[in-house]
Structure 1
Amino acid sequence: MVATKTNPGNYFEDFKIGQILDHATPRTITEGDVSLYTALYGSRFALQSADSFALNCGLEAAPIDNLLVFHIIFGKTVPDISLNAVANLGYADVRFETSVFPGDTVQATSEIIGLKENSNGKTGVVYVRSTGTNQMGAVVLEYVRWVMVHKKDIMAPAPETVVPVLPERVDPARFMLPHGLDFSGYNTTLAGSPHYFEDYEIGEKIDHVDGMTIEEAEHMMATRLYQNTAKVHFNQHQMQEDRFGRRLIYGGHIISLARALTFNGLGNAQLIAAINGGSHTAPTFAGHTIYAWSVILEKAEIPNHQDAGALRVRTLATKDMPCEAFPDKLPDGKRNSAVILDFDYWAILPKKTIEV
């Protein structure tokens, strides 16, 4: 018998309810990571772009974009959870707890909280709650995701079905905004948008107008940046035998593209405090052009923050379809096939104050 030292990854039948997975490779996030992230998506939100702007908002420096933190911690979990994935399906109860700054180190652990074998007997859905911490042990991020994973042995018995009950939304009372955040001297000129929290109405729809085409090299660089080793993103030799015949674009890549596109219309949405839910509704490949539109679902006050308010935003991203008609579901209730992301999150905006 030949011994092996390689990691084949976990298959669906390897997961057990309550199982704890401590993930390898802590990661120190640097200014180089921030520059690469900006190069990949072109995000223009001022709070993450300039130390001077962040200092004027009460912070010690420009914080790491919360989505970059999310992707890096997500990447830690891939070798143990989704190396043998068919696709990541969705997210819920995503909470950003402690700000991350260049020089901070993050690591991750996960708990299996749900299992459901699919009717084909070849795959199953794994529900997992992952937690990212910094070098001081403080929680920086906690989230639930569910992912479809191949079975290695299709004859392996199905586990008892456990589907966790997840909250529809994160309660604004649970928000943990950056320590010292103060928008009382907010400068809309430098931020690039004149629209405050009060300027948005529930039900308002925003076509973000711009589009970005995904290049194969950019997607590969992004996935490597996050140390995401999922085969569906990297291995074209293997994926040519898949039903699509191509590598799938990592769903988080679409989230970051959509978030960057929302600057045109939501330029003062400086922070994502929480993600209520998100689903990847169709596959995306290199060569597709991504557009986005948003609708304001809810407005909320933030405890102990009179200078800021929270907008609950639903952003939909499309491939190769501009969003002037706000594409969503068809008259028969089915999803428009051009819609690839349905993303529900809380954004933090300044309230109207005297500018300096």
Structure 2
Amino acid sequence: MSKTNSGHFFEDFALGQELVHATPRTVSTGDVALHTALYGPRLALHASTPFAQALGYREAPLDDFMVFHVVFGKTVPDISLNAVANLGYARGRFGVPVYPGDTLSATSTVIGRKETSSGKTGVVYVNTVGSNQHGAMVCDYVRWVMVNKRDPASPAPEAVVPELPERVAPESFVVPEGVSFAGYDTTRSGSPHLWDDYTVGERIDHVDGMTIEEAEHMMATRLWQNTAKVHFNQYEQASGRFGRRLVYGGHVISLARSLSFNGLENAVRVAGLNGGLHCNPTFAGDTIHAWSEVLESVPLPGRDDVGALRLRTVATKDRPCGSFPYRDKEGRILPEVVLDLDYWILLPRRR
């Protein structure tokens, strides 16, 4: 009998099924350094311990999407090892800060499943919760994945698609205990623009582009312990649909987050993830650009030092944004669009 793990196929998922993912991972300053080397983030809160301590943090916390990557990677062997594609995200929140030395674990619950029209695959919906060594939530999100069936002839289960909110309620955002942004240093952060300076409907072209190298996206896949075959096994992918390895979608998310520094330098945290789509595949050699649109601007209840912006960040490949349209005249997403992310960020308020 084989002792190896072939991963779950669509037929293996049951509603309410709980998956406790191996293995817990202690994050270190080495992980932070690799994250910096891969994406080039420059946000002062995550780069400088003195800057973070002046706001009430213990030390510089990990970037929220870095936390997401670590937790996401834990789930791959159980959820998406046999995936065709990761389709989307919803109802995401980030919890207590994560610092070097913390140990992260993940558990997922199956909340929906539906066979696709081809009969060869199915879509599985899971709610994943990442926790630290004290059991405190560090991130909590829903994603849905298209997974291969083991036997295309197996009968389709009853379709269950969960109802998911359009947006995460600002009242549920976590602002770390003991943290105040009243004395936020805009000189050190690199920009004078605070929450008050952004208006609904405003579009920000983040201007810069970043080319993905083969070695970088492969290093990222291994760093986040993402074992999905579509990302790391060129031997198998050579005969597949694209003939090459796909870049992990989270890699594009973090590139867009880093590019957004130019225009959103004071985004101190990602508070919520409303939705997200990986619209088209990304490959090594593609150059990523990004722009963001402000969808909502809300003060946080009981806080006069920080406010929330709801953003839609769109990333493109091999085409600068500028006045770049998102869809063609028929309403179809253009092939150059690789990411459409709807999320909340927190910014200090002007006092």
Q: Which TM-score band applies after superposition, normalised by the shorter structure?
A: over 0.9
Offset of residue 177 of structure 1: 1.4
Give yes or no for the alignment of 1:188 onto 2:183: no
- 1:269-348 to structure 2, matched below 5 A, reads 269-348=267-346
- 1:1-356 to structure 2, matched below 5 A, reads 3-353=1-351
Helix, strand or coil for the counterpart of 1:179?
Answer: coil
Distance in 2, Cα, partners of 1:322 & 1:146: 29
User: Any conservation in 2 of the 1:293–1:326 contact (CA below 8 Å)?
Assistant: no
Distance in 2, Cα, partners of 1:326 & 1:91: 24
Per-residue CA shift, 1:239-295, capped at 9, x if unaligned?
011110010000000000000000001111121011111110000000000000000
AA aligned to 2:212 is I
Per-residue CA shift, 1:39-97, capped at 9, x if unaligned?
10000111111001101111111111110110000000000000000010110011011
Name the stretch that deviates more: 175-184 or 162-171.
175-184
Distance in 2, Cα, partners of 1:301 & 1:287: 41
AA aligned to 1:69 is V
User: Any conservation in 2 of the 1:309–1:349 contact (CA below 8 Å)?
Assistant: yes
Per-residue CA shift, 1:76-123, capped at 9, x if unaligned?
000000000001011001101111111000101100001010111111
Helix, strand or coil for the counterpart of 1:306?
Answer: coil
Offset of residue 178 of structure 1: 1.6
When the two chains are superposed, the root-mean-square deviation of aligned CA atoms in Å is: 0.7
Offset of residue 331 of structure 1: 1.9
Q: TM-score, with normalisation over the residues of structure 2? A: 0.99
AA aligned to 1:108 is A
User: Any conservation in 2 of the 1:216–1:287 contact (CA below 8 Å)?
Assistant: yes
Per-residue CA shift, 1:145-180, capped at 9, x if unaligned?
001101111111111100000010000000011222
Per-residue CA shift, 1:312-338, capped at 9, x if unaligned?
010000000100113311221111111
Give unpaired runs (5+ residues) of structure 1: none
Seq. identity, %: 62
Distance in 2, Cα, partners of 1:299 & 1:70: 24
Offset of residue 303 of structure 1: 2.0
Stretches (4+) displaced over 3 A: none
Offset of residue 210 of structure 1: 0.1
Q: How many residues align?
A: 351
Distance in 1, Cα, partners of 2:27 & 2:218: 19
Per-residue CA shift, 1:15-43, capped at 9, x if unaligned?
11111101011000111100100110000
Helix, strand or coil for the counterpart of 1:264?
Answer: coil
Q: TM-score, with normalisation over the residues of structure 1? A: 0.98
Offset of residue 194 of structure 1: 1.1
Helix, strand or coil for the counterpart of 1:265?
Answer: coil
Name the stretch that deviates more: 312-321 or 131-140.
131-140
Helix, strand or coil for the counterpart of 1:58?
Answer: coil
Helix, strand or coil for the counterpart of 1:135?
Answer: coil
AA aligned to 1:28 is T
Distance in 2, Cα, partners of 1:326 & 1:350: 30
Per-residue CA shift, 1:182-225, capped at 9, x if unaligned?
11111111001110111100000010000000001000111111
AA aligned to 1:206 is I
Distance in 2, Cα, partners of 1:326 & 1:100: 36
Offset of residue 304 of structure 1: 2.7
